[in-house]
Structure 1
Amino acid sequence: MPPNPMSKKRLHQGSHDRTHLLVWLAAILCTVFAIAVIVAGIAAFIGYILIHPRIPTLSVSSAHLDLLRNDLAGLLQTQVTVLIRAQNGNGKAHASFSDIKFKLSYQGQGIAVLRSDPINVAKNSSRYLNYVVQSSSIPLTPEQMADVTNSWQRNLIGFDLKGNARTQWRIGRLGSVKFWCHLECMLKFHPLNGSYIPSRCTTESK
């Protein structure tokens, strides 16, 4: 018995209808997901504006020049103590710092790299990172040797501190916020007694 062409047509139409339904279902699910993402983003933004959290910072709290010695051969030895404060001014969020890395140098000559393991800072609180940086003998150029001699005479010398860290804190149930904190400043000392000359040395976030 020859096949009924009408049954083939109905079968073909039924398969097409199922495919069409799946396409519409996928489109609806994608739309719902997109709306949910947009709503969550708006809620997070509104929550951020309402809470207006302060960005956690790292800053030099104090320092001391423990040793500064240069010889006729043009070698410089130094030891510097640096106390860095990790500050979280948020009253509603804990903060964390990671990837902490700073470089201490003198006129481009690297002295040491300051690192730290990740740390957590409670709400409206702070923690301190204490670094005692001791350099090996650093060879100086004749110009740098003259600058060190001049620093002794002026009783003023400066070291460059530059680096960054990643900070993160959570805004309630809205999620976490991450920033890179960048620090670049000069630590100035009186070499005759090693005292630190306080200055603004605080991270800027991006």
Structure 2
Amino acid sequence: MQNDLIEARLRRDTTLSAFLDQARPRYEDTEPDVAPLRTALAADQDRNPARKRGVRGQLTALLQRLSRALTAHAKSTANPELAARVPRRLSDLSRLSETSFAEQARLLLDLGQPHAKDLARRHYTAAHHTQAESLLSDFQTQRTEGRLADTSGSTGREALERLIKANARLVADLEDYFALYKEDEPDLWNEFRAAAKVVHRGGGSGGEKL
């Protein structure tokens, strides 16, 4: 990745992070969806070495939401088999190894899928599931990259490029949420688009997408 593109994307991430913080009162209805993405993007601006822990924490919260929804659904439908398969002590997730945590997350997410419509009425929506899948993928990617770094070494530039790619995924997810305002709040949508655009030195966007 060329140096000017790296710099342009880092500037974009900083600009977008500032916009998300400043505009929070204007997207209160989507705050539960945007908040984890905003937090992750802000952490990246600080070069937070604990980002993996942040992703795990966000995913744990969603798994707890899913567990509560599954438990309520199992009781409502008198389904003891489902109830028995729902973990009762998700607080124990914090004690699991990274491998065991990822496996437990996968099992729980798969368990919820056949009941998606019923879970949506119990405060675990399709948006929550999409976010959880994205966080699990991000967590697993970071685990893989960490192992590669441990065995083969990693330069600062490689780490920076990984960060940029991870942030690109965050921006794409944010775009999906802000697109909801396209017709009803066009000013908010356009301001988001402007903040999320990669602008090169001299003011040109270089035809880059978000």
Return the TM-score normalized by structure 1.
0.22
* Higher alpha-carbon Rg: 1
Richer in helix (by share): 2
Richer in strand (by share): 1
